[in-house]
A and B are shown apart, each in its own frame.
Chain A
Amino acid sequence: GQNIDQPTEMTATEGAIVQINCTYQTSGFNGLFWYQQHAGEAPTFLSYNVLDGLEEKGRFSSFLSRSKGYSYLLLKELQMKDSASYLCAGYNNAGNMLTFGGGTRLMVKP
């Protein structure tokens, strides 16, 4: 299996930029997902990286380094509605399985 590590909590200010890091074991790895989960709701898809590099999607960008077992999610121009948990999940091609990290709870303050 894969160990997925990410910080438990982060706090940032409205309008600022925040980077949420995620590290994983590379054994069996074949891609990395980021999901957003608001309190009491289901996770929703943000991004999927399978190749090295940065993928930008509006205010959100995701980066992957396969050799380093490292990814980050970058949120720009933070809004209060961005307060949520952000889940990093490693994808294992053998069985189309996701292994989730514990999630990073982001609190955006005015």
Chain B
Amino acid sequence: EAGVAQSPRYKIIEKRQSVAFWCNPISGHATLYWYQQILGQGPKLLIQFQNNGVVDDSQLPKDRFSAERLKGVDSTLKIQPAKLEDSAVYLCASSRQGPGNEQFFGPGTRLTVL
């Protein structure tokens, strides 16, 4: 089966600019996650969707970050405006619905904010 797809793979922007990332999960996976991974650290959950509803967004900086999953499949994560500290890899993952299911990760988008 095809894996989790993400684009772009790399993005360089200047601070205060906007950026958007796209994710296409594995077919049939109801749950979709966006993580932020700063260099040398573990992934930090930003937002979790169950179908097209938000399950948890407690760690999403809502003043600048937004995410949506309109049809319960693809998702976009947006940062507006970007700050230097947003430089990180943004990972999308998906899993089947239910407890303890393995999360499959996409290749990530490496964002550099100058």
Contact = CB atoms under 8 A, between A and B. Distances in A.
Interface residues of B, number: 24
Interface residues of A, number: 24
A96 B99 contact: yes
Nearest to B44: A100
Identify whether the interface residues of B are mostly helix, strand, loop, or mixed. loop
Contacts, number: 59
Contact of B105 (A42, A102, A103): A42
B100 interface: yes
B85 interface: no
Contacts of B105: 42-44
Contacts of B55: 95-97
A3 B41 CA distance: 14
The 7 closest A-B pairs by CB, nearest first: A100-B42, A42-B105, A45-B102, A103-B42, A102-B42, A100-B43, A43-B105
Interface of A: 4, 30-31, 33, 41-45, 48, 50, 87, 89, 91, 93, 95-103
